[in-house]
Amino acid sequence: MAFIPFTEREREIIHNGDGETPFRVLQVTDPVDSLVLRMKSMDVDPDSIVNDESLQLLIRRLIVTMHVSGGVGIAAPQVGVLKNIFLFTRLDLPDEPLHVVINPKIVNFPKDTVCFERDGCLSIPDIRANTLRLPWVDVEYWDEKGDFHRGHLEGYSRDDSFTAVIFQHEYDHLRGILFTDKICPETEPGWQ
């Protein structure tokens, strides 16, 4: 498989600040940003993860951006970098909550969906909606150290854990899908 390196524009975005500088988060209210948010992302070469300075800086800046923005996840396309990379909070692992995800795949999931309450997004300010989500997913991905992970993620309740939903939300960003594309119909069981 051929991997496409960062474009010149992506490198510009990544290197326009240091590891403590948050990115500007793209917004659906901006026509150009909105187009970028609808584009599909590409995988990165897993063999280059550890030694790719641009990739490591991207991850550091995504972490800062997520914390400054108060989110539980953020995907590289949300800052204009169309690569299959995101961060998500493992609410089910309070001792190691932040996970870096590179080239993710959802490899197994149930046929039934649930209606997750009050989904929201850093790129769609001031809007919350109930969305159709999977109650669990089996996933595969690499982390920022180049280690491969396989796991089972559960959780779709704000009362307990919604780890599986966070992963799905960020995974959708890599495919140009926004949470507003998955709003529960009023007739869906669990509609609130």
Question: In angstroms, rounded to a whole number, what is the distance separating the alpha carbons of residues 14 and 3?
Answer: 18
Please say if 170 is a catalytic residue.
yes
Show Cβ contacts of residue 50 under 8 Å, excluding neighbours closer than 6 positions: 56, 145, 146
User: Which residue in the list 96, 117, 170, 186 is annotated as catalytic?
Assistant: 170
Assess contact for 62 and 53: CB atoms under 8 A: no
Q: Label residue 122 exposed, middle or buried (CB < 10 Å: 0-12, 13-18, 19+).
A: buried
DSSP 6: P
Question: In angstroms, rounded to a whole number, what is the distance separating the alpha carbons of residues 102 and 45?
Answer: 9
Question: In angstroms, rounded to a whole number, what is the distance separating the alpha carbons of residues 170 and 180?
Answer: 13
Assess contact for 22 and 64: CB atoms under 8 A: yes
- Residues marked active site are found at 170
